[in-house]
Amino acid sequence: MNNGKRSYFLITTTCFGIAFLYIPMILLVFYSFNKSRIVPVWGGFSTRWYGVLFESEEVWEAVGLSLKVATVNATFAMLLGTLAGLALVRFGRFRGRTLFSGMISAPLVMPEVITGLSLLLLFITLKEFIGWPDQRGFTTITIAHITFSMAYVAVIIQSRLTGMAQDLEEAAQDLGAKPFRVLTDITLPLLAPGMLAGWLLAFTLSLDDLIIASFVTGPGAVTLPILIYSRIRLGLRPDINALATIIILAVAIGVLLAAWIMFRQQKQRELELKMSEEV
Amino acid sequence: MSPAADYDDRPWLDPDAEPFIKVQSVSKHFGDFTAVDSVDLDIYKGELFCLLGGSGCGKTTLLRMLAGFETPSSGSIIIDGVNMNDVPPYERPVNMMFQSYALFPHMNVESNVGYGLRRDGIAKAEIEQRVEEMLAMVELSQFRKRKPHQLSGGQKQRVALARALIKQPKMLLLDEPLAALDKRLRVQTQYELMNIQDRLGVTFVVVTHDQEEAMTLSTRIAVMDVGRLQQIGTPTEIYEFPGSRLVANFIGNANMFEGRVIENGTDHVIVECKDPTCNFYIDHGLSIPEGSKVWVSLRPEKIRISKQAAAESGTNCIKGMVNDIGYLGGTSTYRVLVGDKHIVEVTSPNLNRPKDGNPPIDWDEEVCLGWDASSSVVLTK
């Protein structure tokens, strides 16, 4: 393979792999520019469905609600997940630690249908007894999302803390920092990248979720996945293709931006390393 | 020299001196495991004290108890007259330099060094001035804005030292301070550490597994093994007068002979060895009965090796055959087979250049080993 000729087998498998991943998306983008109302029939190039989409208030409301839920969810999940991760790694062995750590990761493996159903039951029971939540919608979806995305954040924080040498915290204590000072001066700044990763993950999980949201939502609260799913059930629609294309574009821009930032940081680090070696 | 001046460098000999740090029958258990086993230790002001031992001997646990990261299971630690058992690390007049240096990666050199002063709420102008002085001392002034990952190993080590010293602690604890440096840098840094300690007069307690490091650095060494103190003494005492076979073997190399005391006079002792057959004449008396089982330790460099039995070797002389030669340039190490299977190691300086390239003593040659009556040490355990 080093003689410049590449094996046909490898080229073929690579092409198939890429095709398998991307042909569906390319089709989707392609049909979003279809003039015809009937999706699989090509009626010429047009951007009319984008126009339809932008005029649809329903879609914008769903996008707004999804973003609102995702933001609030990510923020709470990050805070609670970080605290849970800290408790699991840094407070030594307490009674029931193994049980606690098992319970924290249970939502990761629990089928979403079960999580959704149990949360719905909880909200109904709560309404029965304390009269809250009055109506299911934004609040209940957000609470439901926090319960499972928090577990993901806790796992991320846990692994980052385990990799982080404890002697940094001890060094701060040794230099006169009280435990709370150690947390704010050393632990949290060093955890920041992990917390950011956790926030982003929680945000994406929430934007993506259809099953749990449809269990705990109520009248009038329609998130973007719920909207897309309910429209598709009545048959393929070209305006949904347009919506999906916009989402693909947004994700692609996000990924490219992240890659570019990472590339720049890598360059910077290499440069600094060279500098320290030269001195 | 007056006796008082004599005590200045050796406070542990002064019966009136008050120890600065008193470790009183301190033990530390982790579950069933005993890391430190009833250790008693007195360290005096201005000492550079080494805790020496292999891994798992409890030296690091003892150091962490001095710093306050571990609490003793029993016993007490007194620093400058204050019992430290219930004092948390952030209130102790002690600072520590970590083996990994533990520099805060998100702060630059300046902020790292000034961290301890900021936590004490000292005025900004004073912090700046003291950081500057400290950085000048460790010769890092031009690196003040660098982050730790932009520094080399030796520079990191100096930042860690500056950060630990800036609060002017009563005692500085150093956990394997030179372990992460390469050989050449280590030797250089060793002397720098000694100079800084001498200049500031701070009491240093160093943990190390490297006996060479301990020998060059310290005023006194405490040899530890499986949680217990084996021996405390100056480097010379530990090397020349080891208290046990364990210490003799741990510090440097030693040839060990097992034997029995057959004559115990006021000014000499004779120890008879069976394997190899040899009588040791030692020029001082011992307070043990004749017939006791003892071990004789003989350092490789204290043995003379020659082709003919020299007249002055007197009573201490054995014959053997050269089994192996390690030529190290300045010295050569000979492994000499004495008797059937006993190997005696001899280190000998290469004083003369061999004329025709042939070594003065060759493989498989019959040689005589001789040593002075004062060279060997009798050990009872």
With CA atoms as reference, report the closest residue to A78 among A88, A86, A67, A68.
A86
Fold of B3-248: Rossmann fold (3.40.50)
Are the beta carbons of B154 and B181 closer than 8 angstroms? yes
- The CA distance from A169 to A179, in Å, is 9
- The CA distance from A220 to B174, in Å, is 66
Residues 28-67 of A with CB under 8 A from B: none
**Secondary structure of residue B222 in the 3-state scheme:** strand
Start-end ranges of CATH 2.40.50.140 in chain B?
253-379
Provide the mean pLDDT of chain B.
Answer: 86
Q: What is the ipTM of this complex?
A: 0.81
- The CA distance from B59 to B207, in Å, is 6
- The CA distance from A195 to B199, in Å, is 45
Are the beta carbons of A184 and A88 closer than 8 angstroms? no
CA distance B116 to chain A (A): 5
Q: Chain A contacts of B68, Cβ < 8 Å?
A: 174
CA angle A262/A266/A268 to nearest 5° reads 115
Q: Chain B contacts of A276, Cβ < 8 Å?
A: 146, 149-152, 155
Longest dimension (CA), chain B: 76
Q: Which two tokens stand for residue B146?
A: 């660098």
How many CB atoms lie under 10 A from the CB of residue A77? 28
CA distance A193 to chain B (A): 12
Nearest to A170 among B69, B147, B150 (CB): B69
CATH of B253-379, one of 3.40.50.150, 3.20.20.70, 1.10.579.10, 2.40.50.140: 2.40.50.140
Say whether the peptide bond before residue A133 is cis (omega within 30 degrees of 0).
Answer: yes
Are the beta carbons of B227 and B34 closer than 8 angstroms? yes
> Residue A270 belongs to what H/E stretch?
helix A238-278
| Model confidence pLDDT, tens digit, residues B33-67 | 989 998 999 999 888 999 998 888 889 999 999 99
Tell me, what's the pLDDT at A252? 92
β-strand partners of B21: B43, B79
Q: How confident is the model at residue B31 (pLDDT cuts 50, 70, 90)?
A: confident
Tokens 């009248």 — which residue? A219
Integer angstrom CA distances of residue A246 from A25, A250, B46:
12, 6, 72
| Model confidence pLDDT, tens digit, residues B61-102 | 999 999 999 999 999 999 988 999 889 999 999 999 999 999
Q: Which two tokens stand for residue B354?
A: 């061999």
Percent of chain B with pLDDT over 70: 96
Q: Which two tokens stand for residue B180?
A: 């992460």
Tell me, what's the pLDDT at A278? 58
Is A191 near chain B, with CB under 8 Å? no
Residues 6+ apart with CB under 8 A from B141: B132, B135
Tokens 């990261």 — which residue? B69
**Size of the A and B interface in Cβ pairs below 8 Å:** 72
Q: Which amino acid is at A137?
A: G
| Model confidence pLDDT, tens digit, residues B204-260 | 999 999 888 888 888 999 999 888 899 999 999 999 888 888 898 888 888 888 888
Is A204 near chain B, with CB under 8 Å? no
Does residue B9 register a pLDDT over 80?
no
Is A183 near chain B, with CB under 8 Å? no
Does residue B275 register a pLDDT over 80?
no
β-strand partners of B39: B26
Residues 6+ apart with CB under 8 A from A35: A43, A44, A45, A46, A48
Q: Chain B contacts of A181, Cβ < 8 Å?
A: 119
Tell me, what's the pLDDT at A234? 83
Q: In chain A, where are the structural domains located? A: 57-237
Residues 6+ apart with CB under 8 A from B78: B21, B22, B24, B84
Q: Tell the CATH superfamily of the A57-237 domain.
A: MetI-like (1.10.3720.10)
Strands B269-273 and B278-282 turn out to be: antiparallel
**Secondary structure of residue B42 in the 3-state scheme:** strand
Q: Chain A contacts of B89, Cβ < 8 Å?
A: 170, 173-174
- The CA distance from A248 to A234, in Å, is 23
Tell me, what's the pLDDT at B5? 54
How many CB atoms lie under 10 A from the CB of residue B338? 21
> Residue B94 belongs to what H/E stretch?
strand B94-97
Say whether the peptide bond before residue B349 is cis (omega within 30 degrees of 0).
Answer: no
| Model confidence pLDDT, tens digit, residues A157-205 | 988 888 777 889 999 999 999 999 999 999 999 999 899 999 999 999 9
Tell me, what's the pLDDT at B318? 84
Tell me, what's the pLDDT at B312? 57
Tell me, what's the pLDDT at B2? 45
Question: Whole-prediction pTM value?
Answer: 0.80
**Secondary structure of residue B276 in the 3-state scheme:** coil
Determine whether B237 is exposed, middle or buried from the number of CB atoms within 10 Å of its CB (0-12, 13-18, 19+).
Answer: middle
Indicate the DSSP class of residue B57. S
Are the beta carbons of B128 and B104 closer than 8 angstroms? no
Is A174 near chain B, with CB under 8 Å? yes
Q: Chain A contacts of B116, Cβ < 8 Å?
A: 175-176
Compute the Cα dihedral for A200, A204, A206, A207 and give only its sign.
Answer: positive
CA distance A158 to chain B (A): 19
| Model confidence pLDDT, tens digit, residues B293-310 | 888 888 999 888 888 766
Residues 2-31 of A with CB under 8 A from B: none
Q: Which amino acid is at B194?
A: M
Start-end ranges of CATH 3.40.50.300 in chain B?
3-248
Are the beta carbons of A86 and A187 closer than 8 angstroms? yes
Count of H helices and E strands in chain B?
9, 20
With CA atoms as reference, report the closest residue to B62 among B88, B25, B91, B93.
B25
End-to-end CA, chain B: 37
How many CB atoms lie under 10 A from the CB of residue B341? 8
Tokens 């009280």 — which residue? A178
Nearest to B90 among A173, A186, A277 (CB): A173
Determine whether A160 is exposed, middle or buried from the number of CB atoms within 10 Å of its CB (0-12, 13-18, 19+).
Answer: buried
Q: Chain B contacts of A278, Cβ < 8 Å?
A: none
| Model confidence pLDDT, tens digit, residues A29-85 | 998 898 888 878 888 888 888 988 888 898 889 999 999 999 999 999 999 999 999
Q: Which amino acid is at B203?
A: T
